[in-house]
Amino acid sequence: MFVDEVRIYVEAGSGGNGAVAFRREKFVPTGGPEGGDGGRGGDIIFEVDPGLNTLMDFRHQKHYRAQNGQNGAAKNMYGRDAEDVIVRVPPGTLVKKETGELIADLTEPGSRTVIARGGRGGKGNSHFASSRHRVPRIAEKGQPGEAFWVTLELNLLADVGLVGFPNAGKSTLISKISASRPKIADYPFTTLVPNLGVVSDYGDPFVVADVPGLIEGAHTGLGLGDTFLRHLNRTRVLVHLVDVSPQMDRNAANDYRIIAHELQAFSPELAARPVIIAANKMDMEGSEEGLRELQEAVSPHVVWPISALSGAGIDALMWEVRRVLDITPKPEVQTVEPALKPVVHGFSLEFDDKEGVRVVGDIEERASMTLWGNPHAEEYFLEYLRRRGLEGMLRRAHVADNTPVRIGEGTFYWREGELVLE
C-alpha cells in the first residue's frame, strides 16, 4: 500500500535530575556538596533511507518517544545520556509542524536531521556552592524535551514526470523504458499510486515518475485529485502524454488544454517547467487526425508521435527528454535552518481575574528546571526572581495584596510589597 501523507507525534526525552549529596568520608571534617548532574534526554532524529518509498510504516506507529536522561548521583557521578531515537523515512520527505512551518526537507540518502531535541540534564548541588550557600541542598530538575505533532509529506524524487488523462498510456510507456512493472489494463484509473522507473539506455540514467491520471478539476480534488500532483514538484521536465486515437471519443487538443490548465492551477511554478508533448497510440487506425488537431493546437511546439504499445517513436522521444534534461537545472532544494527553540529574552505579566498573575518569558525555562516541593530549591528560585526585578515589576503594576503569582508549576504570593512562599 502506498502512503504519502501521515501525522505522527514526536517526543524527545527530558533531562535527568541533578542530585543533592554531600561527602561523607573518614578523617574529612568538612564534607562539601558532591551531587552529580543529570544526563541529557534523547533526541528524535529522522534519517533518510533510500530503501523506502512510502510512509506506510507510520500508519501503524504514530508515536515516537525517546527515553529520559538518567538522574545524577552522589560522588559527582553524572547520569547517563539517553539514546537517540532514529526514525527512518524515504527520500523526499517533508516534515511540517501543525502550523504548516517546514522543519526539514529530507532528500539526501543517509542524511540525518534532529526533529525534536532532548532536554539537558539538571545540575547537581555541587554547582550551587558559594560563599553564601556553603551547604546547598538544591539541584535542578532536568529540562523537558520537545514534544509536538508533525505531518510527513512524501514528494517523490524524480527527474521526469509523466502526466495525462487516465488511460493515456503512461504506465505502458514507463514499462517500456524502464524495469518498472505497473498494473496495465484497458480502463481508466488503472494506476492508483505513483510508479518510479530508472531509464538507463539514453545517456546518463534518469528517474521517471508516472502519476495517476488527471481529470478536469483535479487541482480541486476531483478524481484522484491533487493527492499525487505534489509528486511532480521535484521534477525538471514533464512529458505530457495525449491519447490521439479515436477510440476514446475525445478531442486530443481539448485534453491537452485541460491538463495544462490543471497543472497551472495547482502550481504555476510546476507548469512553467519544460514540457515535451507526446501523441500516443499512433498504432491505431485514425490517430493521424488526432495528431493533426493536437499539432495545430500547440503550434509552434513540437509533438512527438509514439506508440507506447509497439515501441514506435519511443527512442526519439527519450533522446529529446535526455537533451532537455541536460540543459535544465535541478529545482532548488528547500534549505531549512535547524528547528532551534526560539530564544526568549525578558519576561512580562499576564493578568487573569481567577488565576491572578502569571509570569511569562525566559523565567519559565528556569522554573521548569526547579525542583518544586524542595523548600531549598524554591527559596533559591525566589532569590533569583528578586534579582531579576520581578518585585519591582509587580509594584509598578499595582498588584493587590494576596494575589497569587504563578510561574511554571510554582505559585508565590504578593504580600505587603514582596514575593513570599506560601
Q: According to the annotation, is 167 in a ligand binding site?
A: yes
Q: According to the annotation, is 124 in a ligand binding site?
A: no
For residue 403, what are the β-bridge partners? 414
Q: Which of 395, 383, 381, 382 has its CA nearest to residue 349?
A: 395
Give the Cα separation of 45 and 66 in Å (integer): 10
Q: According to the annotation, is 189 in a ligand binding site?
A: yes
Q: According to the annotation, is 254 in a ligand binding site?
A: no
| Model confidence band, residue 344 (pLDDT cutoffs 50, 70, 90) | low
242 in Cβ contact with 280 (< 8 Å): yes
Give the Cα separation of 4 and 56 in Å (integer): 8
| Cβ atoms within 10 Å of 408's Cβ, excluding its own | 18
Three-class secondary structure assignment of 257-299 = HHHHHHHHHHCHHHHCCCEEEEEECCCCCCHHHHHHHHHHHHC
Q: According to the annotation, is 228 in a ligand binding site?
A: no
Q: According to the annotation, is 162 in a ligand binding site?
A: no
Give the Cα separation of 397 and 390 in Å (integer): 11
Secondary structure letter of residue 110 according to DSSP: T
Domain 160-327 has CATH 3.20.20.540: no
Q: According to the annotation, is 126 in a ligand binding site?
A: no
Q: According to the annotation, is 211 in a ligand binding site?
A: yes
User: For residue range 15-26, what is the model confidence (pLDDT) as tens digits?
Assistant: 999 999 888 777
> Class of 347-420 per CATH?
alpha beta
For the chain, the structural domain boundaries read: 1-154, 160-327, 347-420
pLDDT the model gives residue 72 = 94
Q: Which of 419, 284, 380 has its CA nearest to residue 20?
A: 380
Q: According to the annotation, is 286 in a ligand binding site?
A: no
For residue 160, how many C-alpha atoms fall within 13 Å in the half-sphere facing its CB? 29
pTM listed for this prediction: 0.75
pLDDT the model gives residue 1 = 47
132-141, 169-178, 336-345, 410-419: the lowest-pLDDT one: 336-345
User: For residue range 45-59, what is the model confidence (pLDDT) as tens digits?
Assistant: 999 998 888 888 898
Residue 357 has pLDDT above 50, yes or no: yes
Residue 300, preceding peptide bond in cis (omega within 30° of 0): yes
Q: According to the annotation, is 170 in a ligand binding site?
A: yes
Q: According to the annotation, is 206 in a ligand binding site?
A: no
Q: According to the annotation, is 168 in a ligand binding site?
A: yes
Q: According to the annotation, is 210 in a ligand binding site?
A: yes
Residue 190 has pLDDT above 50, yes or no: no
| Model confidence band, residue 294 (pLDDT cutoffs 50, 70, 90) | very high
Q: According to the annotation, is 353 in a ligand binding site?
A: no
Q: According to the annotation, is 4 in a ligand binding site?
A: no
pLDDT the model gives residue 316 = 95
115 in Cβ contact with 93 (< 8 Å): no
What is the average pLDDT across 168-182? 83
pLDDT the model gives residue 219 = 42
142-146, 227-231, 332-336: the lowest-pLDDT one: 332-336
Residue 100 vs residues 96, 153, 219, 342, 365: alpha-carbon distances, Å: 6, 11, 20, 17, 25
For residue 418, what are the β-bridge partners? 415
For residue 356, what are the β-bridge partners? 352
Q: According to the annotation, is 310 in a ligand binding site?
A: no
Give the Cα separation of 345 and 366 in Å (integer): 12
Q: According to the annotation, is 370 in a ligand binding site?
A: no
| Model confidence band, residue 414 (pLDDT cutoffs 50, 70, 90) | very high
Q: According to the annotation, is 165 in a ligand binding site?
A: yes
What is the average pLDDT across 166-191? 70
CATH number assigned to the domain with residue range 1-154, chosen from the 4 options 1.10.760.10, 2.70.210.12, 3.40.50.1970, 3.50.50.60: 2.70.210.12
| Model confidence band, residue 182 (pLDDT cutoffs 50, 70, 90) | low
Residue 408 has pLDDT above 70, yes or no: yes
46 in Cβ contact with 93 (< 8 Å): yes
Reading across the β-sheet that carries 44-48, which strands appear in turn?
Answer: 85-89, 44-48, 112-116
Q: According to the annotation, is 74 in a ligand binding site?
A: no
Q: According to the annotation, is 213 in a ligand binding site?
A: yes
Residue 84 has pLDDT above 60, yes or no: yes
